[in-house]
Chain A
Amino acid sequence: MSWTLLRGTLHQRRWGLFWYCVGLATYGGYMAYFYPSIAKVDLDQFLKAIPSELYRFMAGSSVSFNTFGGFLATEYTGFMWVLIAGAAIIAYAARTFGGEVEAGTMELLLSMPVSRVSLAFTRIVGLVVVDAAVVASSFVPIWLVARDQRVEFTPAHLWVLGGVGFLLMLLLGAFALAVSSVTRGSGVSAGVTGGVVAAMWLMHFLRDVADWADVFEPVNIFKYWDPARLVEKGTAAPETWWVLAVSSVVLMAVSVVAFSRRDVT
């Protein structure tokens, strides 16, 4: 791994990452701050008005909008967070190989005495750092504000939500990285990854209304993302951890091998 390359990579993305993290921290803190007020309101009537499929789509397994996990999943972590954080991670990963090839800056890097494997590995470490920053700025403010508001959200809850969130984003990033390692341009990688993620999300939603959608469930990563359950129970099934982690590692390895063999034009 090249420390200079890692520092350079993060330096070039510093302001974008900084403002993204500020936005996520503000959003998460805002949610935790307003939860106590909303929890006092009886929202049963509102919940009954929402189709159960749509509610499950937004809130996962939670059946109560009035619990912190249910509220957070419905309003933020169930959908919006995946969208916002996923966009940041996919943008980083998509630019990593294909984006730099298109921009022409990969030519500069490949004329330097840095091996392709080292370059790819360094960029993966960069992805892990960006992922950690995005996830920490998303959930640590929630924990801090929740503690201030005397809402039950312990460090154990934070660890489980943050850990699974980190692995989910890592998997999205690893997929985008793998596509980026064989394509030219950020747009292709981001588009393909975004399309696959959207399709999985849609299939995950449709599984409750159409039997045929169940076919895709075994390979759908969103069955592992149930933030309401993570917050309310403070645990995640063992396969959630290892499936997300192993899938990420495999895709990262694929991207290293593919990048080390590709033509750069």
Chain B
Amino acid sequence: MKGASMDTAIDVGGLTKYYGKTRGIEDLTFSVAAGQAFGFLGPNGAGKTTTIRCLLGMLKPTAGAASLLGQTVTLDGARLRRRIGYVPGEVRLYENETGRWLLDYVSGLRGSAPSSQTELLEQLEFDPTKRVKHLSKGNKQKLALVIALMHDPELLILDEPTSGLDPLNQQTVFEILGRRRAAGATVFFSSHILPEVEKVCDRVGIVREGRLVAEEDITSLLHKRIRRLEVTFAEPVDAGFLEGLPGLSDIEAFSTHTLRAVVKGEEMDGVLRRVCERRVRDIEIMHADLEEVFLEYYRGTAPEGGEAR
């Protein structure tokens, strides 16, 4: 790894982009520390890709500014892009060329040795001899990943990088990203799939309708997680036994001995104390994934109307 020495890898201030009168993103402000993995979460059309294109200098912001690795982003920031690896949300490459040709072409454009190319090709089990038009969606995604990572960039900007990959290859990508992070790279991981962000990131920004509605450490976000509780008692119990406890909702009697409920936030301790007042035969606590936390956020922090791109 070439070593990211800056304290802040990504610094975004008041970033706004309008397409004519249509809002793409509005007043986005956040920063990502060097070496951090930042999850950029939002549903399709929330403004994730617009943000990334502003960060890469493909779009000129209507207002605000961004800097990457200590350099202000401009439309013509060629030197800065040498230090960045980018996987687009929709991989589109030269269809009539082979993967090998593209890898050589990109290396030539970068003017730097593709030091990790062989390793990545092996890890992702990608055959570069086929023409792009003959590749499946998953294999095109693998090729885009190799192109983005093969020069060991300091900053990875990944727009839904596991799209089209099977679970095994997704796991391989997470492992590769983990190694890159360990080597000091910063990861900006855009996705609408929360469990994969949970695996990769340590900080999360949630964007909706072009605005950043939350920004938290992943651990803090996980503390707000929703857990499903199922307790089987040794004797018959009524649903009213658990009622009135803070953080507990959707209490139902699944059978005469079993109660089900949803526990939100930090209230598990009080719930367990109440449960332990009776003899317990079995207990199961299922952690809801970030998806539900995400939806919970949306319910609570919906920005005012306006069109999102």
Which residues of A are at the interface with B, using a C-beta cutoff of 8 A?
2, 4-5, 7-8, 11-12, 103-105, 107-118, 260-261, 263-265
Task: Judge whether B94 and A107 touch: CB under 8 Å.
Answer: no
Interface on B for A, CB 8 Å cutoff?
19, 53, 56-60, 75-76, 78-82, 84, 86, 88, 90, 92-94, 96-97, 101, 105-106, 108-111, 147
Hey, which chain B residues are within 8 Å of A107, CB to CB?
58, 88, 92
New A-B pairs, 11, CB < 8 Å, besides A4-B109, A116-B76:
A11-B97, A11-B101, A110-B81, A111-B84, A112-B110, A116-B75, A118-B78, A260-B76, A261-B60, A263-B59, A265-B53
Which residues from chain A contact B80 at a C-beta distance below 8 Å? Answer: 113
A15, closest chain B residue (CB): B96
6 closest A-B pairs by CB? A104-B92, A4-B108, A113-B82, A115-B78, A111-B86, A112-B109
Q: Would A264 and B111 be within 8 Å (CB), given that A114-B78, A116-B75 are in contact?
A: no
Most buried by A among B56, B57, B58, B94: B58
Number of A-B contacts (CB under 8 A): 74
Q: For A12, what are the chain B residues with a Cβ–Cβ distance below 8 Å?
A: 94, 96-97
Name which residue of chain B comes closest to A115, CB basis: B78
* Contacting residues, chain B, for A103 (C-beta < 8 A): 92
Q: Is the interface of A mostly helix, strand, loop or mixed?
A: helix
Minimum CB–CB distance for A205 against chain B, Å: 39
- When distances are taken between beta carbons in the complex, the residues of chain A under 8 Å from B86 are 111
**Nearest opposing residue in chain B for A107, CB measure:** B88
Residue pair A114, B92 in contact (C-beta under 8 Å)? no
List the A side residues contacting B106 at CB < 8 Å: 108, 112
Kindly state the separation between the CA atoms of A151 and B108 in the bound complex, as whole angstroms. Answer: 48
**Do the beta carbons of A112 and B76 come within 8 Å of each other?**
no
Q: Find the A residue at minimum CB distance from B59.
A: A263
**What residue of chain B has the Cβ atom nearest to residue A117's Cβ?**
B76
Count chain A CB atoms within 10 A of each CB in B59, B79, B81, B105 and give the residue with the most. Answer: B105
**A110 touching B58 by the CB < 8 A rule?**
yes
Which residues of chain A are within 8 angstroms of B110 by Cβ–Cβ distance?
112-113
In Å, the complex CA distance between A262 and B48 comes to: 20
16 contacts between A and B (CB under 8 A): A4-B108, A8-B105, A8-B109, A12-B97, A105-B93, A107-B92, A108-B106, A110-B58, A111-B56, A111-B84, A113-B78, A113-B82, A113-B109, A114-B78, A263-B60, A265-B58
Which residue in chain A gives the minimum CB-CB distance to B88? Answer: A107
Decide: A264 and B58 in contact? CB cutoff 8 A: yes
Q: In the assembly, what is the distance between CA of A127 and CA of B280, in Å?
A: 80
Question: Taking CB as reference atom, which chain B residue is nearest A264?
Answer: B58
The interface centre, meaning the residue of A4, A7, A103, A117 with most chain B CB atoms within 10 A of its CB, is: A4
Contacts of A108 in B (CB 8 A): 88, 92-93, 106, 147
| B105 touching A264, Cβ below 8 Å | no
Q: How far is the CB of B193 from chain A (nearest CB, A)?
A: 22
Contact A265 B56 (CB under 8 A): no
* Cβ B81 vs Cβ A112 within 8 A: yes
| A114-B109 contact, Cβ under 8 Å, with A12-B94, A104-B90, A264-B53 | yes
In the complex the two chains form, what is the Cα distance from A112 to B151 in whole Å? 11
Give bound CA distance, A144 to B111, whole Å. Answer: 43
Residues of the A chain whose Cβ atoms lie less than 8 Å from the Cβ of B81: 110-113
A112 surroundings in chain B (CB, below 8 A)? 81, 106, 109-110
In the complex, the answer to whether A5 meets B109 with C-beta atoms within 8 Å is yes
Distance, CA A73 to CA B59, complexed state (A): 48
Contacts of A104 in B (CB 8 A): 88, 90, 92
